[in-house]
Amino acid sequence: MNNLMIQENHDGSSFLTIEGGFNNLTPEMIRNSIHSLEQKMLAAPEKDRVALETMHTFADGVYTRTVFMKAGSLITGKIHKLDHIVVIGQGSASVVSEEFGSQLIQAPMVFMSRPYVKRALFIHEDMVWTTVHKNPDNIRDLDVLEEMLIAKDYTDKPMADIVKLNEGE
């Protein structure tokens, strides 16, 4: 399987390659690479950024967020504070995360995502990615849900704590 590889040049710039060995990097090295990539993406002119279509759905005690991603897009995900279910309803992507290194994911697929994991995705085929979250208070205010579910960055959870959390300790 081909892997998406994000590497740093000596001058601090990063580049992508589809061949790689992300699976032998430490979670912290992967986290730093994804962060560096995201910073470069955010520094790009607005016209070069990928616009994502998002759909929000509510049921009793449940909130889902569905993101539609176009083939050829490079995406970095949000950092979720809590574990949640991910449903890949359509498409395929090369995914890099500190959770599992790199792998190709393809629809149909369902998996549990651990807290405080960030991903970089290269979308091969148009993808539909849905996250399923507990919402016991049936909150429908997206700003409140974002505050409740999403970490802005890793400052509130050091890597050692995340590794313990994701190992179930």
Q: How far is CA 119 from CA 9, 11, 57, 94, 103, in A?
A: 21, 24, 23, 10, 11
The residue ranges of every structural domain in the chain are: 1-169
Q: What is the mean pLDDT of residues 47-61?
A: 92
Q: What is the pLDDT of residue 74?
A: 92
Fold observed for domain 1-169? Jelly Rolls (2.60.120)
Report the mean per-residue pLDDT for the chain. Answer: 83
| Average pLDDT of the segment spanning 34-38 | 87
- Least confident piece of the model among 12-16, 28-32, 68-72, 158-162: 12-16
In this predicted structure, the answer to whether residue 59 has a pLDDT above a threshold of 90 is: yes
User: Span 71-83, mean pLDDT?
Assistant: 93
* Rounded Cα distance, 155 and 165, in Å: 15
Cα separation values, 95 from 23, 24, 155, 168, Å: 11, 15, 23, 23
Q: pLDDT, tens digit, for every residue of 15-27?
A: 444 345 555 677 7
> In terms of C-beta density within 10 A (0-12 exposed, 13-18 middle, 19 or more buried), how is residue 34 classed?
buried
Which whole number is the average pLDDT over 64-92? 95
DSSP state of 136: T
Residues 90-149 have pLDDT tens digits of 999 999 988 778 899 999 999 999 998 889 999 999 999 999 999 999 999 999 999 999
